[in-house]
Homo-oligomer: A and B are copies of this chain.
Amino acid sequence: MAVAQVRDVAALAGVSPATVSNALNHPAKVSPATLARIQSAIDELGYIRNDAARQLRAGTNRAIGMIVLDIANPFFTDVARGVEDVLIVDQRPLILGNSSQEPRRETNYLDLFEQQRMNGVLITPVANVLDRLRRLRDRGTSVVLVDRMTGAKEFSSVAIDDTMGGRIATEHLLATGRRRIAFIGGPANLTQVSDRLSAARAAVEAHGSGEITFVETEAMNAGAGRIGVEQLLALPAAQRPDAVFAANDLVALGVLQALTLRGIKVPDDIAIVGYDDIDFASSAAIPLSSVRQPAQTMGSTAASLLLDVIADPATSTVQHITLKPELVVRRSTEG
């Protein structure tokens, strides 16, 4: 015999397939004695339900899909762990997709999730995928935005206040006497980058002195930080910054490596403040000051929100939750 099916289990237990299905999906409807017989038949045959058939008939897929921006960034794996913590209680599988910030890969995963008729999708979007998300929702897949594009008021979202983060980082640099601040990050069209940058500029303006130089990068990893430093060092000495505000910690670590390699002292010559406060920030060569983001909390909050929407798509109200970052001061800015 090939793989055991419902009918085999039913035959062995001496019941109908419908009763086996009820035992699996609505055990309260089945008498304990029957339940027990079915269970031993399942064990004996090693029966494993065919999920495709279940999904097709039931019209729903309990799994939750999550599209993560960059799996190489511990910040996002922390978010994912927060999500897992919540979903595991509900016994829902989490399907992780990594867009690597590439719109094409993001679209591929959206296609997949749409084809699979998932119950819910969590996404930190790369490209403008609002139309796709609307279509998903119209087809019965609930959507919650994580950490980005929360301007889309029609979807619930969880984010962390980037304006506040940009401000407190910049105020800290100004308060410790820095004036020529290079902001390294990109691309500029990411709201994270633009919000943090705008807030930095606003803080400088409010302070009345200082200036922000924007060094745009193509990505947000250590390599981008190293390239950013190259650009800074190409500037005339008089314009060289006395501080770097890196748009995330990976960039900050790259900046730190490149500066150290050139013999430029951190924080004496140039201070560095990072963003995210990933675990590795505190164990860096020069421990990094950083804007701590509650990543895991963001993940668990987003997952809870999503489960609410799934439970009641019609009446659940759209919610936008904004969490607060906080500054963690370490050696990289204590000059």
Contact = CB atoms under 8 A, between A and B. Distances in A.
Interface residues of A, number: 53
Given A71-B81, A95-B95, A117 B283 contact: no
A116 B56 CA distance: 12
Interface stretch (A46-54, A175-183, A191-199): A46-54
A48 B95 contact: no
B72 A61 contact: no
A151 B326 CA distance: 48
A250 to B, nearest CB: 8
A279 interface: yes
A96 B96 contact: yes
Contacts of A112: 51, 63, 93
Contacts of A114: 48
A187 interface: no
Contact of A51 (B116, B253, B279): B116
Pairs of residues from A and B, 5 with the lowest C-beta to C-beta distance, nearest first: A52-B55, A51-B115, A96-B96, A52-B56, A280-B280
B283 A253 contact: yes
A108 B91 CA distance: 9
Contact of A49 (B115, B279, B282): B115
Interface string A219-245: 000100000000000000000000000
A112 to B, nearest CB: 5
A203 B256 CA distance: 37
Contacts of A139: 3, 48
Given A3-B139, A95-B95, A284-B285, A48 B111 contact: yes
Nearest to A256: B283
Interface string A63-97: 10000000110100110110010001001011111
A253 B81 CA distance: 21
Nearest to A78: B72
Given A84-B98, A98-B80, A257 B285 contact: no
30 contacts: A3-B139, A46-B135, A48-B114, A48-B115, A48-B139, A50-B117, A51-B52, A51-B112, A52-B52, A52-B55, A52-B56, A52-B116, A52-B117, A54-B115, A56-B56, A63-B112, A71-B71, A71-B80, A71-B81, A72-B81, A80-B98, A81-B98, A84-B98, A93-B112, A94-B97, A95-B96, A96-B98, A253-B280, A256-B283, A284-B285
A256 B3 CA distance: 52
A266 to B, nearest CB: 12
Interface string A281-306: 01111110000000000000000000
Nearest to A253: B283
A93 B81 CA distance: 21
A129 to B, nearest CB: 15
Contacts of A108: 91, 93
Contacts of A284: 283-285
A1 to B, nearest CB: 12
Interface in A12-53: 46, 48-53
